Chains A and B, each alone.
Chain A
Amino acid sequence: MKNLRYTTIEGNSPRFLGLLAIYGFFLLLGFYAFVTMEHEGHWITGMTNQVIWGLPHVFAIFLIVAASGALNVASIASAFNKSFYKPLAKLSAVLAIALLAGGLIVLLLDLGRPDRLIVAITYYNFKSIFAWNIILYSGFFAIVGVYLWTMLDWQVEKYKRIAGTAAFIWRLILTTGTGSIFGFLVARQGYDEAILAPMFVIMSFSYGLAIYLLVLMATYKWTGRELGDAVINRLQNLLGVFVAATLYFAAVYHLTNLYITEHHGFEAYILRDGGLITNMFWYGQIVFGSLLPLALVYCPRPAKSRLAVVVASILVILGGMAALYVILIGGQTYPMTLVPGYEASSSFSDGVIASYSPSKWELMLGLGGVAVALLIVTFGMKLFSLLPESLSDKVTNPHKS
């Protein structure tokens, strides 16, 4: 694989321009939603004093979690020195930066006072995991940026291993931080669990790789480049392992709660009585988001069928969104216990399941963030030579062909 030729994508085909137009459309929608929310105030969204973080946070946290996962392919290449993954590493780093940028922009534009970004950067409460996350996100851009530089510039290539290892360690800490945003919350039944941090790490592996697979396959198909089965098979097997590991963590999380009487009400809500939340959990997260992708990845199928991999990846992404919806919205709609043994009622939704219907503004803002991520990665491919001209089996796995 030593003589791979990396090239940029041409970037002036009708398909490319069409993609840009689609991104542009969603960017405008997102911007319009932001301006409207900023002007009117958050009352026009579905968010309330009970459901404080809504659909924008589901999008934002999904993208941020997926960002660190997207870097995994590069980490396997550099930090673990697996040469098979090296041709795939540059796209992995750019995709990681793009997804993080998309997620952060949603998070920022959903703030009550997005104009105070400078305050968020200059005032730090170091006991806050949120403040730590701001440092972790900024650091991620810097470290992955340097890592990308070592991959693109032969003069600094000797630092690639160390930069890749630093990026790998940083991304683990970053997702631990993201999970701890919820893990460190003592107030609510669904949070306050140390397992959320490693669970978010393993979720990131899964969602990031699913996005990576789709971007890789789309790029090779739409640019007429050859992508061999060896690459697809390796990545899909890896995806299967990550999906299974995510399922394992979800099982441990819920089994622990089911064992502890105090949490029975919460578990009954998520697993049985929660209506939309319950459906999101069983159908979204478990059946369509985990079991079906596992079947698609591991069950025997006609050779070279790429459709199964594409469908599996899309399902993992949608299942991931569903999983985060359950964690975020389900965790907030379930009421807090003020006095054990007593049912509470008030004008402030005490003691009842809070209602939440996402507004179009929230959806538009979230999709705007996705468009930002895809725009960055698409432009990244036009600006930098991120991918080899061919990833055929002959190139990637010469001894087997």
Chain B
Amino acid sequence: MSRNDVDSATGQNSSVNRIDQYRRHFVGGSIAAAAGLALAPGLILNSVQAKPDDQAVSNKNRWGLLIDTSKCAEGCTDCVTACNKKHGLNPVHGELTDAQWIRHVTLKNKQTGHQIDMPMMCQHCEFPPCVDVCPTGASFKRKDGIVLVDKHICIGCRYCMMACPYKARSFVHEAHTDQVPDAPRGKGTVESCTLCVDMIDRGDGTTACAEACTSGAILFGDLNDSNSEISRRLSSEGGRQLRAELSLNTGVRYQGL
């Protein structure tokens, strides 16, 4: 989806100026990133590069998250707030119909009472049931593992929501006028966590939720890169998939379950 599309979706017509603005930010960001790389080569183990717009996404990367539930504080919703803010998910008609791309889930062991707190979002499965069932192909998976909804061909049948084992998707129950450019929302279509695909494509190397998590419970990275921190930690400390029995090979992994 081009940025022109995004702007037209929000009804703004200064798309050229905005692109220039993005370019300036991008160049500025790149310089800062380059400086950071030069100054602290020992600290940055996995460099995430911006993908030029004309370059296709490749399966060289498999983006994912590692969530350490032991660091996830009870009652903390920093990641949820950051996600809602970044994507313009403002409360409208209440919890039942408002979109929740990420939510704080509390798990309590039925026998021992042991409590676990964790964020839940789209698990970005390698074999996503939502993609299988979508009649038009609007629900799709990028080569780098990010599961998205093509809002131009989503007919709003909600079959993907029936199929998702994680209840990760929301239906846009009403029109939204206060949208943000990087997260266009359409009444009558389905949406879910995009793994902050715009940030990934810009080469930010993180997501809004990971960035906002001050306790370091959420780690973003490339599961295909054996040198990335996420891969190294998964290799040394392990990590579980939610509903692993479904063999969906999720891109989001959990520790402490």
Question: Complex Cα distance A124/B135, Å?
Answer: 6
A41's nearest neighbour on chain B, judged by CB, is: B174
Residues of A within 8 A of B170 (CB): 49
Residues of A within 8 A of B104 (CB): 346-347
Q: What number of B residues sit within 8 Å (CB to CB) of A?
A: 58
Within 8 A of A (CB), among B90-109: 92-93, 95-100, 103-109
Q: Are B129's CB and A111's CB within 8 A?
A: no
Question: Complex Cα distance A195/B156, Å?
Answer: 28
Contact with A along B154-174 (1 / 0, CB 8 A): 111111011111110111111
Residues of A within 8 A of B163 (CB): 185-187
Question: Complex Cα distance A84/B217, Å?
Answer: 73
Given contacts A41-B174, A338-B105, contact A186 B165 (CB under 8 A): yes
Question: Complex Cα distance A344/B257, Å?
Answer: 13
Contact with B along A325-366 (1 / 0, CB 8 A): 000000010001111011111111110000100000000000
Q: Are B132's CB and A128's CB within 8 A?
A: yes
Q: Are B156's CB and A48's CB within 8 A?
A: no
Residues of B within 8 A of A347 (CB): 95, 100, 103-104
Residue B239 is within 8 A (CB to CB) of chain A in the complex: no
Q: Are B105's CB and A130's CB within 8 A?
A: no
A42's nearest neighbour on chain B, judged by CB, is: B173
Q: Are A338's CB and B166's CB within 8 A?
A: yes
Q: Choose one: A113, A181, A185, A337; the contact of B154 (CB below 8 Å).
A: A113
Stretch at the interface among A74-82, A115-123, A311-319: A115-123
Residue A308 is within 8 A (CB to CB) of chain B in the complex: no
Residues of A within 8 A of B154 (CB): 112-113, 116
Question: Complex Cα distance A184/B257, Å?
Answer: 28
Question: Complex Cα distance A88/B63, Å?
Answer: 61
Q: Are B155's CB and A120's CB within 8 A?
A: yes
Residues of B within 8 A of A49 (CB): 96-100, 161, 167, 169-171
Within 8 A of A (CB), among B112-141: 116, 120, 129, 131-138
Q: Choose one: A52, A53, A339, A350; the contact of B257 (CB below 8 Å).
A: A339
Contact with B along A29-53 (1 / 0, CB 8 A): 0000000000011110000111011
Question: Complex Cα distance A344/B106, Å?
Answer: 6
Size band of the interface chain A makes with B: 35 or more
Q: Choose one: A117, A186, A350, A355; the contact of B105 (CB below 8 Å).
A: A350
Q: Choose one: B110, B157, B162; the contact of A188 (CB below 8 Å).
A: B162
A191's nearest neighbour on chain B, judged by CB, is: B162
B96's nearest neighbour on chain A, judged by CB, is: A48
Q: How far is the CB of B246 from chain A (nearest CB, A)?
A: 6
Q: Are A342's CB and B100's CB within 8 A?
A: no
Question: Complex Cα distance A127/B160, Å?
Answer: 13
Q: Are B165's CB and A53's CB within 8 A?
A: no
Residue B33 is within 8 A (CB to CB) of chain A in the complex: no
A132's nearest neighbour on chain B, judged by CB, is: B135
Contact with B along A48-77 (1 / 0, CB 8 A): 111011000000000000000000000000
Within 8 A of B (CB), among A75-106: none
Residue B175 is within 8 A (CB to CB) of chain A in the complex: yes
Q: Are B110's CB and A348's CB within 8 A?
A: no
Residues of B within 8 A of A3 (CB): none
Given contacts A124-B135, A346-B104, contact A186 B129 (CB under 8 A): yes
Q: Are A43's CB and B167's CB within 8 A?
A: no
Q: Are A52's CB and B165's CB within 8 A?
A: no
Q: Are A43's CB and B137's CB within 8 A?
A: no
Given contacts A120-B155, A128-B134, A187-B164, contact A42 B111 (CB under 8 A): no
B107's nearest neighbour on chain A, judged by CB, is: A342
B137's nearest neighbour on chain A, judged by CB, is: A125
Q: Choose one: B100, B175, B189; the contact of A348 (CB below 8 Å).
A: B100
Residue B25 is within 8 A (CB to CB) of chain A in the complex: no
Residues of B within 8 A of A181 (CB): 159
Residues of A within 8 A of B188 (CB): 41-42, 111-113
Q: Are A336's CB and B190's CB within 8 A?
A: no
Question: Complex Cα distance A347/B105, Å?
Answer: 8
Q: How far is the CB of B233 from chain A (nearest CB, A)?
A: 20
Question: Complex Cα distance A43/B108, Å?
Answer: 31
Given contacts A332-B162, A341-B111, A344-B105, contact A127 B96 (CB under 8 A): no
Given contacts A113-B156, A120-B136, A348-B103, contact A339 B174 (CB under 8 A): no
Residue B180 is within 8 A (CB to CB) of chain A in the complex: no
Question: Complex Cα distance A49/B163, Å?
Answer: 13
Q: Are A187's CB and B135's CB within 8 A?
A: no
Q: How far is the CB of A312 from chain B (nearest CB, A)?
A: 33
Residue A250 is within 8 A (CB to CB) of chain B in the complex: no
Q: Are A48's CB and B97's CB within 8 A?
A: yes
Q: Are B174's CB and A43's CB within 8 A?
A: yes
Given contacts A187-B165, A347-B104, contact A120 B110 (CB under 8 A): no
Q: List 15 A-B contacts (CB under 8 A).
A: A41-B188, A43-B174, A49-B99, A113-B188, A113-B189, A119-B155, A127-B132, A128-B134, A128-B159, A130-B159, A184-B133, A345-B105, A346-B105, A350-B105, A350-B167
Closest 6 A/B residue pairs (Cβ): A112-B156, A112-B188, A41-B174, A43-B173, A187-B165, A342-B107
Residues of B within 8 A of A (CB): 92-93, 95-100, 103-111, 116, 120, 129, 131-138, 153-159, 161-167, 169-175, 186-190, 242-243, 246, 257
Please name 6 further chain A to chain B contacts, defined as beta carbons within 8 Å, in addition to the given A347-B103, A348-B95, sorted by A numbering: A112-B155, A120-B155, A128-B135, A345-B106, A347-B95, A348-B105
